[in-house]
A and B are shown apart, each in its own frame.
Chain A
Amino acid sequence: MDAAELESFREFVDNRSSGLLKTAVLLCGGDRHAGEDLLQNALAKAAGKWQRIDEPEAYVRRILYRQQVSRWRLKWRRREVTVAEPPESRAGRSDAAAAAELRVVMREALSRLTSRQRTVLVLRYFEDLPEADVARLLGCSVGTVRSTTHRSLARLRSIAPELAALRPADAEAQPSRDFSPVEVRR
C-alpha cells in the first residue's frame, strides 16, 4: 500500500468499522471478541487488494458473510456467550418487560444457531436484504436461502420453548425441502 492508499484505508476504517462491527458481532452470535476478529480479518484481506476494490464496504461485507458461512474456518470462534438470565416467572410483569425478556431469550437462541443459519437470518432481518440478494452474496440459490431461513426459524422455536407462543412467520409456512437445483459445474 502506498501512502495515499493507507490514508484512504484508515479513513474507511475510521468511518465504517463501527457499523461493520455491529454486523460482525451479530454474525458471531453476540460474541464481541469473535466479531472483532472476524472484522479484522475481513479488513486485512481488503487492505491487501485496496487499490483494486471499487466498493470497499460491499467488498468487506461480502468477506464477512462468506467467512462466517465457511464452516471449517470459523466454527472454532464460537465461544460461550454470556446473556442475562431470563427471570423465572412472568407473572405480574408489564408487557414491555415481557417483550424485553423475549428479546433476551431470542438473543440466546440466535447464538446457538449454526453460523450459516445465523448469517442468513442476519442478512434477511437485520440487513433487510431480499432473498435474491442474500443468495447472490452467499453464492447459493434462492431456494437454499428460503429453506435455510425456514429451518433456522423452526430451530429457534425448538431451542427456546418460550418462543412457541409467537405467531408463525410467513417464512415458516414454506416446506422444508431444499429448492436448490442440482447442477455440476462444467
Chain B
Amino acid sequence: MNVEELVREALREQAADQRPTGPGFADRVLSARRRRRTRTVATVAAAVAAVVAVAVGVPLLDSGKDDVRPAGVVQQGGIHAHPDQSPPRDLIAAGDAVLAAYYTADNVVKSDTRAVFERTYSLLDPDTGRYEKDTRWSYVAVAPGLKTAAVLERELPARRIGLLDLATGEVERWIPVAHAVGGLAFSYDGGRLVATTYDENPDLRHKETGSAVENGKTAERQMWASSMGSSRTGFSVIDLASTQASWTPVKAERDISARQDFAFGRTGDTVYSQVIGGRDGLQQFYDLTGGKIDAPADERYLRSDVAARLSPNGRLAALGLTKEVAGSPGRSYSSIRDPRTGKEITTVRGGHLLAWVDDKRLIAWERVTSLEEEYRPQLVLVTIGSDKVVPLSGSREESLERQGWEPVFARR
C-alpha cells in the first residue's frame, strides 16, 4: 500500500463513520440565517483570540508556502499585489498583514456654516477577495482575524457600536453605550475595544475665512476648518466576550485635535492618544482609570503617527522617515529602532511604515516620484536588510484640497 491509498482509505472510513444530519438541520440553517449567524459575542471574541494565537504560532519562514489562493494575483511568498489599482479593487496582503479596508474622506456640507468630514469605507469581502463600498458607516475598525469589524453609524457621536460580520455584511450585534462614541480601536489580541467618547461630532467643520496668496495677491478664501478645541470626554473599554463597557472620563486638554482617538498599548492595559507639541507623533499614555502614566518601557520611543509600532515579536520599533535619496523615483528610508533604548538599529525602505508583515517585513507608503516632483506614494512591501521594494498598490494622487484613500490594515 502507498501513502495515497492509505489517505483514500482513511478518508472513506472516516466519512462512513459519520451519522447523518438530524431531521431539523434545514430549520437550523434557516434560523441561523435569520439570526445572521448570531453566534454569541463570546464566541466571536474567542474566535478572534484563537486566530491571533494561531497566527502568532505559525512559523514565519513557512508562512504562505502551501497557500492555495485565487488565481490572477501575484502568488509569491504570500503576497497579493495589484500595482495597477488605486484605490484597490482586489485583495492586497502580504503574509499576515491584510488591507482589510480603505476609506476616502471629504467635507459634506450640512448648512451654510457647517460641514462634516465624512469617511466612505470600502471593506474586503472575504468571499470574493474584492473591496466593496459600504456607505453605512462613519467609522470602521477591523478586528485581527478579519472576521469582525466594529462599526459606527453615520450620525456621530454614536449611541451604539455594531459588530459587523465581514462575511455576510450584516451587524451581528449592537452594543449600546451610555457615552456617545466617535472612534474605535481593537486591542492587539482582538478581545477588547476602546471607544473614544465625544460630546459632539469630532469630524465637524466650520466655515472660516482665511487669507491665501494667489498670483502674488492676498485674497480672502473660505475654508472648512475643524473646531479649535475638542469635545472629547474620555474612553470606554468594551470587553467583547461579555459586552461589558466601562467608561473612563479624561479631561480634554488644549493640546489635542478635535478628533483625537485613543488606542490600546500593546498589552491592552494602557491606552494612548496623540498630543500636539514640539514635534510630530507625540503620545500620552493613560492607565485604564484615566490617570496619566509614563509610556510602557517598550513603547516609549514609538510615534503615535507611525501606525506599524512594534514588530510581532516586540523586538523592533517602526519609526519615522529619516532619509530621502534623490533619483527617479526618489527613495525614502524610515528608522527601525530598539524599543527599549530608542537606538537606531537600521533603516528600511519606505517613507511611512504602516504595518508589520512579519518580524522582517513591513508594508509602507513609498514615493513613486522624484524628490523634485509632487509627492505620490504607493503601498509597497519592504524588507529589513534589503533595498528592494515590491509594489502592492497603484500610486495615490494627493492634493491639499482632497485626501487620497487611506488604508486600514488588520492581521490575519
Contacts and interface: CB of A to CB of B under 8 A. Distances in A.
Contacts of A169: 2-5
B355 to A, nearest CB: 15
Given A23-B15, A167-B1, A73 B147 contact: yes
Contact of A178 (B25, B55, B75, B146): B75
Interface string B6-35: 111111111110101101011011101100
A64 interface: no
Interface in B48-100: 48, 50-51, 54-55, 65-76, 81-84, 90, 98
Contacts of B33: 44, 47-48
A51 to B, nearest CB: 15
A156 B73 contact: no
A40 B28 contact: yes
B401 interface: no
Select the residue from B2, B12, B54 with max chain A CB neighbours within 10 A.
Answer: B2
B146 A185 contact: no
Given A73-B146, A167-B1, A110 B84 contact: no
Contacts of B183: none
A44 B8 CA distance: 30
A151 B64 CA distance: 13
B47 interface: yes
A32 interface: yes
Interface in A147-172: 148, 151-153, 156-157, 163, 166-172
Nearest to B29: A43
Contacts of B147: 72-73
A154 to B, nearest CB: 9
Nearest to A63: B127
Contacts of B75: 141, 144, 178, 180-183
Select the residue from A36, A73, A102 with max chain B CB neighbours within 10 A.
Answer: A73
A44 B66 contact: no
Contact of B66 (A36, A48, A106, A151): A151
Contacts, number: 183
Contacts of B47: 76
Contact of B4 (A13, A73, A170): A170
B149 to A, nearest CB: 13
Interface in A115-131: 116-117, 119-122, 125-126
Interface string B318-344: 000000000000000000000000000
Interface residues of B, number: 60
A184 B74 contact: yes
A106 to B, nearest CB: 4
A57 to B, nearest CB: 15
Contacts of A156: 3, 7
A18 B145 CA distance: 30
Contact of B15 (A26, A45, A138): A26
B37 interface: yes
Contacts of B4: 125, 153, 169-171
Contacts of B167: 41, 73
A33 interface: no
Interface in B360-386: none
Interface string A37-54: 001110111011000000
Interface in B104-130: 126-127
A140 interface: yes
A66 interface: yes
A72 B146 contact: yes
B47 to A, nearest CB: 4
A126 B126 contact: no
Select the residue from B9, B11, B46, B67 with max chain A CB neighbours within 10 A.
Answer: B11
Contacts of B72: 183, 185
Nearest to B70: A139
B384 to A, nearest CB: 24
B173 interface: no
Interface string B187-207: 000000000000000000000
Given A44-B29, A144-B69, 10 more contacts: A9-B30, A21-B20, A26-B14, A39-B21, A47-B29, A70-B126, A72-B51, A72-B412, A76-B51, A126-B12
16 contacts: A22-B15, A25-B18, A35-B18, A72-B146, A103-B9, A106-B6, A106-B9, A120-B68, A125-B7, A139-B71, A148-B66, A163-B3, A163-B6, A169-B2, A169-B4, A184-B84
Interface of B: 1-16, 18, 20-21, 23, 25-26, 28-30, 32-33, 37, 46-48, 50-51, 54-55, 65-76, 81-84, 90, 98, 126-127, 145-147, 167, 412
